Structure 1
């Protein structure tokens, strides 16, 4: 196929045609380059997994990576991380400490706040450009007056 036919056909139509054709589509064969000889990484000596005795010897300057590796007992991991985060360097509040409150418990609105919100429907109607004829009068507003001509 020429490039003009492919460009006119479009991607989706070409994909649908190729998908529905029973003939196998010729695919480009990648020429394999010779693979340079790669030496396997040196095998590390298998260190024994840390225990609770190792946790007792930890200091804030210790390397904690062995305690979070695969295969370490969960109790040992928890104790090591508990010891790590007991360090006062990790107890510093950051700039996001305003978000630590529980916002699931809403504070009740006071009467003063509710009184301040009574004007909101009228302001919103004016801002949104809604006609007052579309809404029934609110309490205390009285019936709309009709002009006579």
Structure 2
């Protein structure tokens, strides 16, 4: 048996466990009671009596009329508990309406001007100069003349 391969041993043990299951007798059903009436399906009258604390599982059971199910769910979700916005819906606001800044906020923004470095104004002027020079350049198709100072070695 020591030389028995893994698959043979697995197959043998599986067959033995199958025989053991077959030898166990299935449980005998207890005395069957007469079939009780199937549960009554809800109607629209039942929907009118619903409150937020009611049990809605009966309305979601299999076989319930879809119109009754929709009416019950509509009643459930009409509760203000389910209608509160969570604040995570970033697109719920109307961003087209302008809210003017308060005088306090405007004063704070004026104060921020003194905190910004004045170099930003110079950078804007520097960036506008090359654009102006490029527009002022002549529009001929001749190649640009080489700069004699660019080849000079220090």
Q: Which TM-score band applies after superposition, normalised by the shorter structure?
A: 0.3 to 0.5
Structure with higher Rg: it is: 2
* TM-score, reference length from structure 2: 0.41
Q: Which has the higher helix share?
A: 2
